[in-house]
Chain A
Amino acid sequence: MITNKDCPLDITDEALIEQIKTNPDYFLCIMNRYEAKLKRYITRLGSFSPEEADDVLQEVFIKIYKNINDFDPQLKFNSWAYRIAHNHVVSVFRHNSARPVSWGAEPEDFANIKDEFDLAISIDDGLLRQQIERVIGELKPQYREVLYLKFLEEKSYEELSDILKKPMGTVATLIHKAKKEFKNKWSQAYE
């Protein structure tokens, strides 16, 4: 049985996946690496309570484990794991007929948004943070997600293409439209 302290730190995710194929106990190590990242992603994709997000994350990890033999080494494991999380959250929304309403962003997230959209705000300003949250909450789910992945997770176009399973041109268009919609809603509400 592998425990947290047995997890190798100096190998890539992809090499770790190869180890999991021979010894499934190493799956604990990959979960450790992705627990915080995927929980944040899942939380920001939807309006989940912390408990719901934990449940969804567990289901995502089980899915990753069951599909580990489908992992394509030509992809980054990171993109593949995010894709599974994305698909699972979308299917949860579909199943519950629910839609995400909030981004659940944290103060440091606003620095990137502020720079990207040239917003003249102080990131310490609680009121303005609420305003950004509100505008982001009004965006279509696919726009909200792509903005999150691009500007907060700082994923490349190729990674976004692999996560969302869309051609890179479509990803670029999606980002462009998302930014445009954010700017429109921002100026309608606060300018």
Chain B
Amino acid sequence: MNNISEIVQAKIEAEHIAPEPKWHFMARRSVFWLLTIGSIVLGIVSTAVILNIIENSDWDAYNRFELVFMAVPYLWLVMFAAFVVAAYYNFRHSKRGYHYPLFLIVGVTLFCSIVGGFFFYRAGWGEDIHEILIVRVPRYERAFDTRMMAWQNPHMGLLAGRIIEVHPADFRLQDFAGHDWQVLYGPQTVLAPQMVIMAGERVKLIGINKDDDIFEAREIRQWQPRKKNPRPAYYIPQDNGRHGLEMAPPERP
């Protein structure tokens, strides 16, 4: 044996080396394509949820710049960036992916994610996904929904939490940190459309921090107003003199 080719040929025969079957390569490539498509879909979902959080952030209520910063959904933005990077990486490792420059791949991924995310959001799927995650994923809301931080500032006039007991002129509220508040409200308090003051409802309050555990509400909004399936129109709060504001029965035609 006098050249490398013959040595290699002998080695292939002696060690029974065989070419890898074609389907191995096709399977590997399919995984990269699936991961690319999966990353773009997750980018679309992230965009839809981010838009939903931004829409429900009540920017008009943030009277200080730091509150605006608190409400930015950073973790979702990081997730979105991670999905764009993952889509780029996986596409780049597809068979012909290296032909395309970085800016083109990232540009197309961003375009697909943002445009697709906008349509998801318009269809109300951003809201659905956000609510499913709140229910199904422990600690999701605290980590991903940064509005909670912004609305946990009673000294700046913002408070949010769950109503636990309703009385004629006040209600008890447990904020997202677990602290109990007495919330005062009256006829002058502005209620958001379709707002129902009842136990179990999660609300956002704009008002004045009167004392350690007393908050006077000037405005009451739903924590997560639903666009897709809002409450029927007859759910208008009425004072029945016993339990504070309750739902009125539907009017008969």
Residues in A lying within 8 Å of B, measured CB to CB:
4, 21, 24-25, 27-28, 31-32, 35, 39, 54, 57-58, 61-62, 65-70, 72, 161, 165-170
Contact = CB atoms under 8 A, between A and B. Distances in A.
Contact of B7 (A32, A58, A165, A170): A58
Contacts of B95: 72
Contacts of B12: 24, 27, 62, 65
B213 to A, nearest CB: 63
A58 B11 contact: yes
Size band of the interface chain B makes with A: 20 to 34
B99 A58 contact: no
Given A69-B25, A170-B101, A39 B4 contact: yes
A69 B98 contact: no
B6 interface: yes
A58 to B, nearest CB: 5
B3 interface: yes
Contacts of B98: 161, 165-167
Given A161-B99, A167-B100, A170-B101, A66 B5 contact: no
B101 A169 contact: yes
Given A161-B98, A166-B98, A170-B101, A62 B20 contact: no
B233 interface: no
B14 interface: no
A31 B11 CA distance: 13
A165 B98 CA distance: 5
A28 B5 contact: yes
A71 B17 CA distance: 17
B21 interface: yes
5 contacts: A4-B5, A27-B12, A57-B4, A67-B25, A69-B21
A16 to B, nearest CB: 13
**4 nearest A-B pairs in the assembled complex, by CB-CB distance:** A31-B5, A165-B98, A69-B22, A70-B25
Nearest to B97: A165
Nearest to A7: B5
Contact of A69 (B5, B9, B17, B20): B20
Given A31-B8, A57-B4, A168-B99, 18 more contacts: A21-B19, A24-B12, A28-B5, A31-B9, A35-B3, A58-B4, A61-B5, A65-B8, A65-B12, A65-B17, A65-B19, A67-B19, A69-B20, A70-B20, A70-B25, A161-B98, A165-B98, A169-B101
Contact of B8 (A4, A62, A168): A62
B11 A62 contact: yes
Nearest to B21: A69
Contacts of A68: 19
Nearest to B9: A28
B65 to A, nearest CB: 42
B98 to A, nearest CB: 4
A24 B25 CA distance: 18
Interface in B47-105: 95, 98-101
B148 to A, nearest CB: 44
A32 B2 CA distance: 12
B99 A62 contact: no
Q: Which of A165, A167, A170 has the most CB of B within 10 A?
A: A167
Given A161-B99, A167-B99, A61 B8 contact: yes
Interface in B149-208: none
A72 B21 CA distance: 14
A169 B20 CA distance: 33
Given A61-B4, A161-B99, A67 B11 contact: no
Nearest to B28: A70
Contact of B5 (A35, A161, A166, A169): A35
Contacts of B99: 161, 167-168
A66 B17 contact: yes
A58 B6 CA distance: 10
A27 B17 CA distance: 12
